[in-house]
Amino acid sequence: MPTLLIINDTTGLPNWGGQATAAALQQIMRDEVPDAEIKLLSHAWMNRSYWSRRNPLGGTKVIQTQKKKNPGRAKLFAFEPMVADEFESVANEWMSSGAHEDAKEYIALLSEVDAVIFNAEGAVYRTNRQARKGLFMLWLAKTKFDVPAFFVNGSITLTRVDPVLQGMMRKTFSVIDGVAVREPVSYRSLKEYVPDAEANVFPDAVFYFGQGDMEPASKEYEALRSRLGDTPYFCLSPSMLPMDYSRGPSESAVLKVVQELKRVVPQAVLMAKDRMDQFLEDIAERTDSIYFGPEYGYWDQMRTLEGASFMISGRYHHNIHAVVMGCPCIPLTTTSHKIEGLCEMVDNEIGPPFDATDLKYHLGEIADRARGIVEAGEAKRHRLLVVAEHLQDEARGTGRMVHGVLAAEAVA
């Protein structure tokens, strides 16, 4: 019975996409790797903050804190490598007798598991800490402990600005057993900057959840469904990019979009799980719309999308949830190219994204696209469901990749 360690488990994130991804990825592994047992290291574990300060009696003291501010005359402790050239020296620190507790925990796990899988949800871009730590942990598992290692379910955004991750990817991807990115634009970004890297393109794990996989409806959803009745509605959630709201809520671009789209479909459901999105509660009140807040789960969101006329969103997974449920999308840009990659992956059935930072300029086009979706009716929804079914099967590729390596090692 193989034991798989998934690092960066996003179950605990206050984010519908992160929660759905974690559940779907685990389900793929259970379905494709027979009798697999799964161990987890959480997103919070991956992103713990540590500080170090000098001990008056000599040496340094490392302090763990979940707070961002400096705990008094201390500096941020570099628990993971900052550049590829530090992999060996940091590995020596992690494997030493005086290693930090987190390093000891990870290395102890390596003696218990048959593979390490880095859930790269959250994207890999520029110099972000989660990417640096995850890439190093895969490299460490493979090169120092001969444990099969896999990078999966990630978007990769490499640029010439702060080009740190390129070297780390060259170092890690040249030795680990499998790399899978979740959309084609990320694949091209990887090949541009790390041309020797071998990688697969498998759809985001959330595509693995079909309509038949949903959990029973919650009481919150049932209340919402009763409130909506037979009134046609659309759904909206914002982008991770800055959006026009705080300087003038009554004239904000987001409010204008809601008002314009309510001329197309009479009711709006404004969706906000993440704290940064919860300004939509005020927009809902100002536009006489329905606020769908953090008390709802991701299955509630998917059920609500199933009945919606369309979804407009700059949230990557919200658009995926819509496609899976056959709900037409009007995508908005976000902080990386993953939305563009998603649009390409679904055969451009949802159209190119609009600029989330310049919505007033695109207001007429957004309304025209909404009207086109409504006029297309069930034919549009059917095409999306066909695409989603195809991507659901392709999403199994991540699990098949892991299973193939482990099966070959068992024979050898």
Cα angle, residue 401 at apex, residues 95 and 169 outer, rounded to 5°:
50
Q: Which pLDDT value is given to residue 320?
A: 98
Burial of 190 (0-12, 13-18, 19+ CB in 10 A): buried
Where helices occur in 158-201 by DSSP H, the ranges are 165-173, 184-193
256 vs 217: which has the higher pLDDT: 256
Q: Which pLDDT value is given to residue 272?
A: 98
Give me the residues paired with residue 267 across strands. Answer: 233
> pLDDT for 3-19, tens place per residue?
999 999 999 999 999 99
Q: Give rounded-to-5 percent helix, strand, coil for the chain.
A: 45, 15, 35
Q: Which pLDDT value is given to residue 237?
A: 98
Q: Which pLDDT value is given to residue 125?
A: 84
Q: What is the DSSP letter of 354?
A: B
Q: Is the pLDDT of residue 123 over 90?
A: no
Q: Is the pLDDT of residue 77 over 60?
A: no
Q: What is the overall mean pLDDT for the chain?
A: 92
Mean pLDDT of 284-300: 97
CA-based nearest residue to 160, from 125, 195, 187, 135? 125
State the DSSP H helix or E strand holding residue 269, giving kind and residue range, or none if neither: strand 267-271
Where helices occur in 264-311 by DSSP H, the ranges are 280-287, 298-306
CB-CB contact of 267 with 233 (8 Å): yes
Mean pLDDT of 54-70: 53
- Distance (Å) of CA 396 to CA 202, 204, 391: 8, 10, 9
Q: Is the pLDDT of residue 400 over 50?
A: yes
The pair of three-digit structure tokens given for residue 354, joined into one six-digit string? 């609009």
> pLDDT for 344-362, tens place per residue?
999 999 999 999 999 999 9
